[in-house]
Amino acid sequence: MDLEPTSIKEFVTASATLGTDRCGQRLQEALVGLFPDWLPSRKSCRKALDRGDVRCNGQVAGTALFVREGDRIDLCLEPVDPPNPGRQTPRNLRIHRPDGANYALVWKPAGIATSGTGHRHLAGIIAHQAHHGAAKDQAALRPVHPDGMPFPRPVHRLDKATAGWVCLALTLRAAATLGEAFANRTVEKRYLALASGKLEDGHARAPLDGKAAETYWRVLDHGPLPVHGEASLLEVRPTTGRTHQIRRHLADLGHPLVGEDAHTAPGTDLQSAPRYTGHGLFLCAIGLSIPKGEHGPATDLTAPVPRKYKRIRWAAEALTLHGYG
């Protein structure tokens, strides 16, 4: 990649011009919702003002200032060097950034959370790699546009137990347009799953946590499996993104995933449920299709099949037959 990434001290200001809807407000009130990716709450807005991070028409401004239509508000956050995640950093991090894109896709290994507190999660690992990783990783993870964020930001999440592609925004605008793409369901997510028992092609539309949820699957093959007796290899395409959606929908139908440790078939508790141990959860987000937009060009990426699937002979043969390498 021949683009020149900015250094950690060169991330430029996020700016906005005030409209009539904020005219006459105190700056502390006008700031709420103006930079949601940086200042998501009233408390964070107040802290930014207290630190002197906010400027109005080029001048450091305080909470008591009354703003007018057309005022230019600049947010000048001082980036903090990300902590070293140490041994938590996966070797040979798999990163794909399309040419000219303000986003990147990174493969999250199973066992690592997407984000959270501390720094031992994918977001923390990526933040460190963006500034202290190998040269190729820095080139793939650093923004080149004025609204570049100091660290790549995941725009969706995968369960800790699930391996797969995670989309990272590199700029504020990319974070907004990618968020809209996920919300509008124009992003296509493809999973490989191994479910207990024998399934047919189908779908589940049961709401989860009071919200609409849709999961569609295609059966690639069935075959024998220790502990469960029989299992079904599935290509799964969820159109919504609820917590543990695929896992919960299949478990509710009586076909929990192989390696499942949180959700069971109705009438079965976790302690008595059969479990195929030693290989983790058989669920991976193997494919991700991002539409084109202000974040960059479209991309459609499919990862190589994880080795644990290939160790099951009939599953390996079915995957090859259906075009999975």
Q: Which residue bears the tokens 């058989």?
A: 282
For residue 39 the two structure tokens come to 């200042």
Q: What are the C-alpha distances in Å from 160 to residues 47, 75, 133, 163, 316?
A: 32, 33, 23, 8, 25
Using DSSP bridges, classify how beta strands 163-171 and 283-290 pair: parallel, antiparallel or unpaired. parallel
Q: Give the number of other Cβ atoms within 10 Å of residue 43's Cβ.
A: 9
**φ/ψ bin of 66: left (φ > 0), alpha (ψ from -120 to 50), beta (otherwise):** beta
Contacts of 146 (CB under 8 A, 6+ apart): 12
Active site residue 209: no
Task: Give the DSSP letter string of 207-225.
Answer: -BTTB---EEEEEEEEEEE
At residue 116's C-alpha, the angle toward residues 112 and 117, to 5°, is: 115
What are the φ and ψ backbone dihedral angles of 320, each rounded to 5 degrees? -65, -45
Ranges assigned E (strand) in 27-162: 54-56, 59-60, 72-75, 95-96, 103-108, 148-154
Q: Are the C-beta atoms of 53 and 77 separated by less than 8 Å?
A: yes
At residue 171's C-alpha, the angle toward residues 93 and 71, to 5°, is: 160
Q: Are the C-beta atoms of 55 and 73 separated by less than 8 Å?
A: yes
Task: Write down the catalytic residue from 159, 252, 261, 300.
Answer: 159
For residue 235 the two structure tokens come to 């290509």
Radius of gyration (Cα) for the chain, nearest Å? 23
- Pairwise CA distance, residues 142 & 273, whole Å: 46
Q: Are the C-beta atoms of 56 and 65 separated by less than 8 Å?
A: yes
Residues labelled as active-site residues: 159
